[in-house]
A = this chain, B = another copy of it.
């Protein structure tokens, strides 16, 4: 799912203290991450705010709002760092930090600074470099290739599932009763079924997220984002940054810049959008970016609109859902017109969370767009396919076989599925109460930061059993993944922090189809995100996530 930039600076995953203390006794890293490198010469007064470090003991529901992608993951403990930076020369780090900060500023690797009021509204003011890792994260080449190979298969799967309206409605029928947001999405979906709405041109810009399980060495899928997949614009810049740094400092580090794979996410997404625009076939039409009223991650989006204009001469329009409600209309032929301009594609960078729908106005806008003949990226069906409940349903035996024919493809997908269960599976619920550390409870509700870990899993399950209501339909259970922990260097607000971290790999995929013709089905690039994995309480200081790239090993 998509994310606002706040996900990066305010990521709010919480992990029970106890479960991590049991499995990961190392606790000294906290102080390292809390303070900037004392040897580093910037005269900074910034530290990680206390709120970011103290949230481990908070209830998930109490933490900050906003959609949090890193918060969707389930992480555990480490074995060994693959490349050890503990003994690195401090002078070298200092130079690299400075160069990296300069590079970010000159190359548009920037976000809005939350301390500057207008930075989420007006471009060009209140900018700060995006949080990034100083080094690319080591990652096995074989697993990277595996993730890339999966991308077109997932693209196709999403498309096939989206066409099975009954499967979507049935699978989500229990969720609908307990989750108001999913319920509204399903209502729109039902109405589209009623009017027999067909989407001839279907555009998917997805990102499938994975973690590498240290125990089993398996690449396991965390989730499939079918709406508002974030960071195609900035993520690829971090790959460029790392290659640039390794070109100059690689020999001191024993690292080769050619091992950082090329990352064309932004240009490929833009190519897909431009191709879809061409299929729509009106040279005067525009691409509508549906955005949040305040967006500090706007530059990630601006990279796409800038490239659309520069490389494809396609114009874009940025509107909030409320603006679309007031300025948008349908012509009798179904054409969507917003602010007087015909819309070829509705590209959602908002609308994935209940927070984006504070009133009926926003739902009217969503419905208006869905009814139109504009290409939706995503359509309501694609959006629903990306829900956790559908992810869990697809993991059931013999379900993939309903949508895909190729047995090899099915086997490849299944290989990356973590254990996924509905809470009506009493055996699994019993196991999870016994060994909560091996499970993550994921609410259907969007917005991130809502996952439940460790002893909280036990508590929540016991509570749901007592209540005996349908509330359990709001959750799925997922196998807890324990990824490799690496000691790394994290840059935020001009300060270099160092700590043990874990990483998540996302692979972007683009799918474009016009009726029977598949025009595009490809992987587009990757997103590596790295976050602090530990603190002196053993919890995950998830407030500190940065953009990263990968170093193939």
Contact = CB atoms under 8 A, between A and B. Distances in A.
A283 B127 CA distance: 37
Nearest to A305: B102
Contact of A129 (B125, B299, B303, B309): B125
B299 A106 contact: yes
Interface in A167-194: none
Given A127-B105, A127-B127, A122 B306 contact: no
A300 to B, nearest CB: 11
Contacts of A42: 118, 121-122
A199 B99 CA distance: 32
Interface string A107-148: 110100100101001111111110000000000000000000
Interface residues of A, number: 38
Contact of A106 (B103, B302, B491, B493): B302
A453 to B, nearest CB: 33
Nearest to A493: B125
Interface string A365-389: 0000000000000000000000000
A244 interface: yes
A98 to B, nearest CB: 7
A121 B43 contact: yes
A248 interface: yes
A281 interface: no
Given A108-B107, A302-B102, A124 B129 contact: yes
Contacts of A121: 42-43
B128 A102 contact: no
B124 A125 contact: no
Contact of A494 (B110, B122, B299): B122
A324 interface: no
Interface in A238-277: 244, 248
A231 B47 CA distance: 33
A94 to B, nearest CB: 11
A465 to B, nearest CB: 50
A237 to B, nearest CB: 10
A104 interface: yes
A96 to B, nearest CB: 12
B127 A101 contact: no
Contacts of A43: 118, 121-122
A298 to B, nearest CB: 8
A310 interface: yes
Nearest to A306: B106
Nearest to A127: B127
Interface centre among A104, A310, A494, by most chain B C-beta atoms within 10 angstroms, is A494
A426 interface: no
Contacts of A359: none
Interface string A278-317: 0000000000000000000001001101100110000000
B118 A110 contact: no
B124 A494 contact: yes
A332 interface: no
B122 A125 contact: no
Nearest to A110: B105
Closest 6 interchain pairs by CB? A101-B124, A106-B108, A124-B129, A127-B127, A125-B494, A122-B494
22 contacts: A42-B121, A42-B122, A43-B118, A102-B124, A102-B302, A105-B108, A105-B127, A105-B302, A106-B299, A106-B302, A106-B306, A110-B127, A113-B116, A113-B125, A116-B116, A122-B494, A124-B129, A124-B494, A125-B493, A125-B494, A127-B128, A244-B310
Given A101-B123, A101-B125, A124-B128, 9 more contacts: A43-B121, A102-B124, A102-B299, A102-B306, A106-B303, A108-B108, A113-B126, A124-B491, A127-B128
